[in-house]
Amino acid sequence: IIKDHVSILEPNDLRRLTEDARARHADSLYEAAGEELAKRAPVDVLAETGSRVLAELMDRHLPKRQRRVQELAVVTSNGKLLIYDTATGSSLRTVDAHNGDINYVAYSFDGSMVATASDDHTARLWNADTYACLHTLQHDRLVW
């Protein structure tokens, strides 16, 4: 019944329901709403979803994988995403990620994606193997 209800909600109503269910620890409702968000993502929902909810959805609903190397992502004020091997300290990759300061970077729980947010009014999701940009989410203000 819950899945049928959430499947017909408008995008903004679904987003609000997901955030409310998470805040109230309504696990079965949060799970159903989160699955529906993940199905629709990123087209109609993720541009309006908070980064913590987005990170948790990525963690819960994407297949898990093992990282071959423990990586550290470092961001710069000129829009670069720097990837280092934590065991050796060596630089693995430099990505021209944004056109402004990067304010936020995080790996998904399974390490398959990296999310960045920038002063250039975008948040981007990156494939953590190739560092190809998977999605760019546009906003009308700075993204934290």
> According to the model, what pLDDT value does residue 43 have?
45
pLDDT: which is higher, 70 or 90: 90
Distance CA 105, CA 101 (A): 11
Tens digits of residue pLDDT in 22-55 = 777 777 777 777 677 666 655 444 444 455 555 5
Amino acid identity, position 30: Y
Mean pLDDT of the chain: 77
User: What's the sign of the alpha-carbon dihedral 58, 94, 75, 71?
Assistant: positive
Tens digits of residue pLDDT in 49-78 = 455 555 555 555 555 555 556 788 999 889
Nearest-5° angle of CA 48, CA 95, CA 68? Answer: 95
* Beta strand pairing call for 122-127 and 133-138: antiparallel
Nearest-5° angle of CA 41, CA 138, CA 27? Answer: 35
The position carrying tokens 């300290």 is 89
